Structure 1
Amino acid sequence: MRSNGDPPLLARVRVWLPPRRSRGPAPAYDRDQIADAAIEIADEEGLEAVTMRAVAARLGTGAMSLYRYVERKEALFELMGDRMLGRQDWPPLTGDWRQDLRDLAGGQRCALLDHPWLLRVWSGGPALGPNMLAGFERAMSIVDGLGLNIDEMFETVTLLHTWVNGYVRTELDELAYFGDASREEVQRAMGPYVELIVESGRYPYFTRVITEARTPHIDSQARFERALERVLAGIEATLPKRE
């Protein structure tokens, strides 16, 4: 099964193919068990700590035996991303496309905030695993019936997915920038410099944001919901007019 000379993409695809029958003992693990062990490590130590050796140790086996199931680390990440999507508790579809897309975006954001390493796993790749495919079908069904053709449906779902990933990446970067500092500590640290900027009169829009805007002063959930409503309004504006 294992071939170090193959590109990572082939290993990612092959992990979803039916296992070849062999005369040896029955497999001791399944994909979910392997993925769960890798997810535990990623949650505790970060994605960089997820190695074939570490996952094998978590399962109580040798690294070489793990290669019977997963060829390389990239394929292991594939299992992790698919498993995480399957572990999400998605609310039932309501039939209201706006609410269903809100729920989809909100669930994606919560998963990414709870497991920041998922940003690297859920970004960019196609839906190959069974949970990913089921999630894709669910998302596409939300925008079906809105008068969009298949390209427009796919673009709409991809737009939302990509936007949420980018939004959460910014949230996590901001958290990393300010660390554990409270809002009061941030204001004390930045206040004198911000006052100089405002008093200079050279940055009128920045000044208006500081003195007039509500968005910087509301909680992160409310900011996300406000931004999401703009995305949904943009999607609605592109829908075919109904007679």
Structure 2
Amino acid sequence: MSVDVISLLWRTAPPPRRGPSRGLTIDVVVEAATRLADASGLEPLTMRALAGELGVAPMTLYTYVPGRAELLELLEDAAFLTMDRAGNSGPWRDRVLAVMEDNRTLYRAHPWLTSFEPGRPALGPGTIAKYEHELAAFDDCGLSDVDRDAALTFVLDFVRAAARSEARSSPETDEAWWATAGPALAQVLDPSSYPLASRVGTAAGEAQRSARHPEHAWRFGTARVLDGLAALIDG
């Protein structure tokens, strides 16, 4: 990440000195890019497609954003800036669960966010405000600064993985698939050769009407994440 990107993220970069603006600002460009990403994902989001959405020549965009890589960083940070943040009150488990639910809501609104590399966040005001708020969920937990950061990373990694799986599945189509695949598999699967897979898979499939149920996985996973943190915090 360059200094130029930091200045774009924090809106300290000077406005473009040349080129037709047609009333554009960085915020207008980012809002249009977000609409495109929400509609079709990141892959079709090119500078040319964005220029078409804004009704300008592609070269016009480069007077506002150096390129697609910088645009994506602006996009990520802007999404974080719009998050609703629950209050950091109550027991630590309630505070951390609120962080998890807030992030799940964000990923559901913008599924393309799961494509970003978590180890290289956009260091803009949205990202920093999010980090500050979420770290506070671990107040009074007796954690060192390093462990507090690691605990938050652990929580967010789970939410991101769950959101990615949920974005790639559809309960309706998964149920229809299982309705056909389940009986067909039962015809060829020998329970004596695969006793655990047969018993557990059948029980889970019948309960969930699918090989995987995102809501059940979420409830089970959040509880286990909190239980794991409790071993560190309450212990």
TM-score (norm 1): 0.81
- Paired position in structure 2 for 1:188: 180
The answer on whether the counterparts of 1:38 and 1:80 sit within 8 Å (CA) in structure 2 is yes
- Paired position in structure 2 for 1:103: 98
1:4-54 CA-partner distances (Å, limit 9, x unpaired):
xxxxx3264453251136766997433322111001111222212212222
- Paired position in structure 2 for 1:232: 226
Residues 118 and 215 of structure 1: CA distance in aligned 2, closer, same or farther (over 3 Å): farther
Moved more, 222-231 or 121-130: 121-130
- Paired position in structure 2 for 1:15: 8
- Paired position in structure 2 for 1:137: 132
Moved more, 102-111 or 73-82: 102-111
Following superposition, the deviation at residue 89 of structure 1 comes to 2.5
Following superposition, the deviation at residue 215 of structure 1 comes to 9.5
1:202 and 2:193 are equivalent in the alignment: yes
- Find the aligned partners of 1:57 and 1:22 in 2 and give their Cα distance: 20
Alignment of 1:42-121 (within 5 A): 42-121=37-116
Residues 154 and 195 of structure 1: CA distance in aligned 2, closer, same or farther (over 3 Å): farther
Unaligned 5+ residue runs, structure 2?
Answer: none
- Find the aligned partners of 1:87 and 1:148 in 2 and give their Cα distance: 29
Unaligned 5+ residue runs, structure 1?
Answer: 1-8
The answer on whether the counterparts of 1:109 and 1:164 sit within 8 Å (CA) in structure 2 is yes
- Paired position in structure 2 for 1:222: 216
- Find the aligned partners of 2:69 and 2:178 in 1 and give their Cα distance: 39
Equivalent in 124, 145, 148 of residue 119 of structure 2: 124
1:64-109 CA-partner distances (Å, limit 9, x unpaired):
2222221110110011111112223233333322122212212222
TM-score (norm 2): 0.83
- Find the aligned partners of 1:50 and 1:32 in 2 and give their Cα distance: 16
Residues 231 and 140 of structure 1: CA distance in aligned 2, closer, same or farther (over 3 Å): same
- Percent of pairs identical after alignment? 27
Instruction: State how many pairs are aligned.
Output: 229
Moved more, 56-65 or 129-138: 56-65
Residues 14 and 92 of structure 1: CA distance in aligned 2, closer, same or farther (over 3 Å): same
Equivalent in 158, 164, 168 of residue 159 of structure 2: 164
- Find the aligned partners of 1:71 and 1:85 in 2 and give their Cα distance: 21
- Find the aligned partners of 1:174 and 1:23 in 2 and give their Cα distance: 46
Equivalent in 123, 144, 148 of residue 143 of structure 2: 148
The answer on whether the counterparts of 1:147 and 1:240 sit within 8 Å (CA) in structure 2 is no
Moved more, 181-190 or 28-37: 181-190
Secondary structure (helix, strand or coil) at the match of 1:49 reads coil
The answer on whether the counterparts of 2:19 and 2:63 sit within 8 Å (CA) in structure 1 is no
Please report the RMSD computed on the Cα atoms of aligned residues, expressed in angstroms: 2.9
- Paired position in structure 2 for 1:36: 31
Write the letter of the residue equivalent to 1:217: Q
